[in-house]
Amino acid sequence: MRTMSDTIARLAALRRQHGAHLPGEHAPDRLSTLTGFGSNPGGLTSRFYLPPNLPQGAPLVVVLHGCSQTAAAYDHRSGWSQLADEAGFALLYPEQHGGNNPNLCFNWFVPHDTRRDAGEVLSVRQMIETMVEAHGLDRSRIFITGLSAGGAMAAAMLATYPEVFAGGGIIAGLPFGLATTVPEAFDLMRGAGSVSDEALGSLVREASAHPGPWPKIAIWHGSADMTVVPSNAETIAAQWRSAQDLDELPTQSDQSGGHSRRIWANTQGEAVIELNTIAAMGHGTPLSADLGVAGPYMLDVGISSTREIARFWGIASAQEPAVAGSVPLPVQEQPTAVSVPAVRTFGTDRPLNEAYPLDPRTTQSMPDVFGVQKTIETALRAAGLMR
């Protein structure tokens, strides 16, 4: 187990690291502010974008930024509003603020914020309803995506409100329901522990009374991600395969250059889960030069996950075939799913990075696992990590 001094030192180092990437780049802001969207129990703010001359019945895409990011900066760098202009859909950007989480992470590991009809997930649900009603959007074509902590919160929204969404996109994210405290969040990010596929699927099935059908899920992850290790992508795929009672082996496997893709189809032959891995990519959103702007955690790797996720959902066309010149790989050569953690133990030291999920509400009430709680809280405040 980590010592208290080790934990405090890691958190202080993370705070210094975040200071280099906190919003301040003055990125172009194409977004408007949404107000009056409900009781907002999660205390989030809300931004949105509507392309000119958007027709009635257009799709809605909900986009969740990562830690240390703003909605406007993520929109600018990911290219979502540029694609919305091209393809004709509305955008909604829930936005975190420092009063909820000093690192601007959505609180994906806090049970109250990830339980149906409570906390942050209910705030996002209220924003969606307001957008649909105000702008005549298509309830059958609502989608959600996010990066890192935003990807983990997208997974929580898909699990708690599956009837709302036609599809989701989880980028460098984490599975739903496996972390409920800060220490557990750390361990999940690092890939510690194990849990069965059936238990993973049960977390989704028990998050709502919805019997199915389920949203289609696109998963993206870098093979060199040391912040949220790649086994989390495998676990997300396993969780949704189990929820939908799909086989462990993929229906189709493709590879082009450093981009590999595995697809699981339902009994009707429709692709419902897509797992994309980018070789040698670290923690961030995959981009290409034709859409988006590279920056911290926004990585130009020659393929736009923004465009490809929208293509998978069926609301935009790919600029070129999704995996150009793809060659099917023998299924047996694909790695089997690796399940990640219900029971966590601290493991090998790894660099901490953008996705650290600090929530002052959680640190104030977390069990005294590192020493005397008062001492920890004093140290966290001194490091600027707790208010």
Residue 342 has pLDDT above 50, yes or no: no
Whether 333 is covered by a domain: the verdict is yes
Q: What is the pLDDT of residue 12?
A: 46
Whether 387 is covered by a domain: the verdict is no
Question: Tens digit of pLDDT for each residue in 232-257?
Answer: 999 999 999 999 999 999 999 999 99
Residue 119 has pLDDT above 90, yes or no: yes
Model confidence pTM above 0.85 = no
pLDDT bracket for residue 99 (50, 70, 90):
very high
Domain that holds residue 66: 4-382
Question: Tens digit of pLDDT for each residue in 311-336?
Answer: 999 999 876 433 333 333 332 222 32
Residue 66 has pLDDT above 50, yes or no: yes
Residue 372 has pLDDT above 80, yes or no: no
Whether 239 is covered by a domain: the verdict is yes
Provide the CATH number for the domain around residue 370: 3.40.50.1820
Q: What is the pLDDT of residue 91?
A: 99
| Spatial distance between the Cα atoms of 79 and 140, rounded to a whole number of angstroms | 24
Percent of the chain exceeding pLDDT 70 equals: 75
Which of 121-130, 279-288, 352-361 is the least confident region? 352-361
Residue 302 has pLDDT above 70, yes or no: yes
Q: What is the pLDDT of residue 371?
A: 39
Q: Say which residue, 194 or 384, is predicted with more confidence.
A: 194
Percent of the chain exceeding pLDDT 90 equals: 74
Question: Tens digit of pLDDT for each residue in 305-317?
Answer: 999 999 999 999 8
> Which residues are marked as active site?
148
Q: What is the pLDDT of residue 357?
A: 53
The total number of structural domains that make up the chain: 1
